[in-house]
Amino acid sequence: MRKVFAPLEFQSLCEEFRASGKRVGLVPTMGALHRGHAALIEEAARRADEVVVTVFVNPTQFGPAEDFAKYPRTLDADIELAQAAGASVVFAPSAEAMYPQGDETRVKLSLLPRFLCGEVRPTHFEGVSTVVAKLFSLAGRSVACFGRKDYQQLKLIERMTTDLFFPVTVIGVPTVREEDGLAMSSRNRYLAPEHRAKARAIPLALDRAVAAYAQGERSVARLEAVAREVVASEVDSVDYVTVADSQSIELLQGEVGERALLALAVRLGGARLIDNVVLGEEGSPLRGAS
């Protein structure tokens, strides 16, 4: 397993891989790796010859009152998991290396960051698109894997990749779930046992909306209400439970068509947790649970 800390060394390494005929797979992460990340690495390994996992807790995507300082940093364990899942390189730069003195370039999308998480985290997606653009510039031609749990992030990265002509193929990988259906997330580590038990309401809420949709329910308001009712009483607060267009993420009103995103964000015991399902495309998150 090769460990790289300097951005330009990482860039040269990816160029060397390609020069020797190897395809590069990229898995950007903030570390605290879990089975969901392992699935991203395994998917990248199926599509590429050398898989690079980036581990960088990106300061620009955290708001001033958010969990940047307490975000888990577990590099040694991350390297072990990444290697076991099939990665050959870990790129773990410092904040100073990624944002050196004088850095002032930011990548900002106009519409996609406005909805859902963007409403409560107004600077978050600019930080995400900026750091992912930097990583794509360094990695060059590659296949990059991202989780569908961060669905809005995935759509934004797809849009940015097209708009900026990055030679990167973006792959959305299905969410990996715990036995009770809770989506794997580095932030699940924040949950005390009583909060972890209550978190089961999150996939249950999505399950109820999937069932209502399967029974013919098409009203946006009623689909949102079905999911909200299950989750609201179990969590500390609800940021949103929203039905949106599955491509543009724009909020829908009235009736949904053939497919629609149902996404939610809740706060529970100090953690902010998100999850989603694409109605008309995916089944219940409880069925996919391991």
Among 58, 142, 185, 242, binds ligand PAF (CB under 6 A): 58
* Alpha-carbon dihedral sign for residues 1, 67, 203, 255: negative
- Residue 282 makes contact with ligand PAF by CB under 6 A: no
Counting residues that bind ligand PAF (by CB under 6 A) gives 10
Report which DSSP code applies to 235: S
Region near ligand PAF per CB under 6 A, out of 26-34, 167-175, 221-229, 243-251? 26-34
Using alpha carbons only, what angle is made at residue 207 by residues 288 and 125, rounded to the nearest 5 degrees? Answer: 80
Among 30, 48, 145, 223, binds ligand PAF (CB under 6 A): 30
279 closest CA partner among 229, 228, 225, 217? 217
Q: Smallest distance, Å, CB 184 to ligand PAF?
A: 12
Taking CA atoms, 32 is separated from 57, 72, 76, 208, in Å, by 10, 6, 10, 30
Q: Smallest distance, Å, CB 119 to ligand PAF?
A: 17
Query: How many residues are there in the chain?
Result: 290
250 closest CA partner among 240, 260, 241? 260
- Residue 128 makes contact with ligand PAF by CB under 6 A: yes
Query: Amino acid identity of 122?
Result: P
Tell me the catalytic residues. 37
- Residue 206 makes contact with ligand PAF by CB under 6 A: no
* Alpha-carbon dihedral sign for residues 271, 40, 201, 258: positive
Helix (H, G, I), strand (E, B) or coil at 234: coil
- Residue 29 makes contact with ligand PAF by CB under 6 A: yes
Q: Smallest distance, Å, CB 237 to ligand PAF?
A: 22
Our CB check for ligand PAF shows the closer of 56 and 213 to be 56
Our CB check for ligand PAF shows the closer of 107 and 128 to be 128
Among 132, 176, 262, 277, binds ligand PAF (CB under 6 A): 132
Write out the residues near ligand PAF by the rule CB under 6 A.
Answer: 28-30, 58, 61, 128, 131-132, 150, 153
